[in-house]
Amino acid sequence: MPIATVNPANGETLKTYEAMGEEELERRLQLAEATFRTYRATPFAERARLMNRAAALLDEIQQDIGRVMTTEMGKPIKQARAEAAKCAKAMRWYADHAEELLADEEPSESDVKDSGASRVLVRYRPLGPVLAVMPWNFPLWQVIRFAAPALMAGNVGLLKHASNVPQTALFLEDLFHQAGYPEGCFQTLLIGSGAVDDILRDERVKAATLTGSEPAGRAVASTAGDMVKKTVLELGGSDPYVVMPSADLDRAAQIAVTARVQNNGQSCIAAKRFIVHTDVYDAFAERFVEGMKALKVGDPMEEDTDVGPLSSEQGRDDLEELVDDARRSGAEVLCGGHRLRRPELPGWYYPPTVLTGITREMRIHREEAFGPVATLYRASGLDEAVLIANDSPFGLSSNVWTRDEAEVDRFVRDLEAGAVYVNGMTASHPAFPFGGVKRSGYGRELSGHGIREFCNITTVWHGA
């Protein structure tokens, strides 16, 4: 895949970049290793100053970087600006909390005495250069949620971004440079996916994090395992959205629309499978379909656009194949279901779509639909709702709508997911851990858990 900016709203190639050669990659790896030796000793106050400066710079150019993101991957411009603002918020959060989150810990006096020590500390020390393999769908946020905690912990970052968002990738390197970070603290590597294996095998790279597809995760995890290096993986998701009879149906249906089509439906944590109790199924389905039909599909640069194009022609084709497979196998299309063919929208658009009558034999039941396509299931009761929700190879997040506390307790206990959002839609926040189970990956990003993922947790024992 070429490293290029291709506008998904019209298919026009705007900029193409040459992949970095071996000599430039070697220079950057040497720089990362050398910078880490000094940056790791930087006081937290100085790290926080630099991170806050980067956040301030990001706020200043929110509109400009928003337009770059929209041009490169098609998200509505208002969502692009919101993504930039969210990144600045996370950067400030880690600037404010990193020192506390990584403070030395002292075991209990009795355990210290029992070990024969006069004092014992648990200290969090940075690992070194961390390779981040990042996706295009949230081209700023996915990177910042790795970079902010990694840099605040004293690590340095090497970014291999998706090949269709090179301008965003280069912007990120420039952002940290302009904020005053030493040159080797955060570097963008303009390389294809085929070069990742060699970089991860390099002894100077100490760990890796990947957000992306399951095949990409398997490849990185395999190499990292062979090299005995730490990894954090956030892979696909097919999140359930369960609606029970006690739910506020109007609110549940309204939020369901947003939960499905955010980022043009191209989000790992977007709700994708809507599992509705039979007592309220018809009422919910009517509201949900009406909401999906009312969305404006159009030019992502227009302020009132709700759904823009998919990021690539291949992505649109893959989504279309999932829908066509379900239709051939007996699924009913309640709205959408065919690619848009409008002269004023020549890009890779697909309309908001709702399918029902889904069976386990359909591909869309077990594969992630990466676009504005929702599947609607009828559940006879709580037990069946849990069974349908867990009948997926993924386990990233989940959404539950009920005002019955006993049902809440049951869902929290039994749903196989990294998060359960009750009467609301899944969202990421810097203070809360983020990640999944099953084929959605392992490890956690964000919060204290995320900043400690790439630390050497060191026991320091002092004799009596």
What residues contact residue 256 under an 8 Å CB cut-off, 6+ apart?
Answer: 241, 243, 271, 274, 284, 288, 291, 374, 425
Catalytic residue among 268, 407, 453, 455: 268
Q: Is 234 a catalytic residue?
A: yes
| 3-state class (DSSP) for residue 309 | coil
Question: Is 185 known to be catalytic?
Answer: no
Long-range pairs, 329-338, Cβ under 8 A, ≥24: 329/359, 329/361, 329/362, 330/357, 330/359, 331/355, 331/356, 331/357, 331/358, 331/359, 331/362, 331/364, 332/356, 332/357, 334/285, 334/289, 334/376, 335/289, 335/292, 335/293, 336/292, 336/372, 336/373
Give buried/exposed letters for 185-195 (b at 16+ CB in 10 A, else e): bbbbbbbeeeb
3-state secondary structure of 363: helix
Residue type, 115: S
- Residue 293 contacts residue 395 (beta carbons within 8 Å): no
| Calpha distance 386→369 (Å, rounded) | 20
Cβ atoms within 10 Å of 361's Cβ, excluding its own: 11
Cβ contacts of 246 within 8 Å, gap of 6 or more: 402, 403, 404, 407
> Considering 33, 83, 173, 234, which one is annotated as catalytic?
234
Which positions are annotated as active-site residues?
234, 268
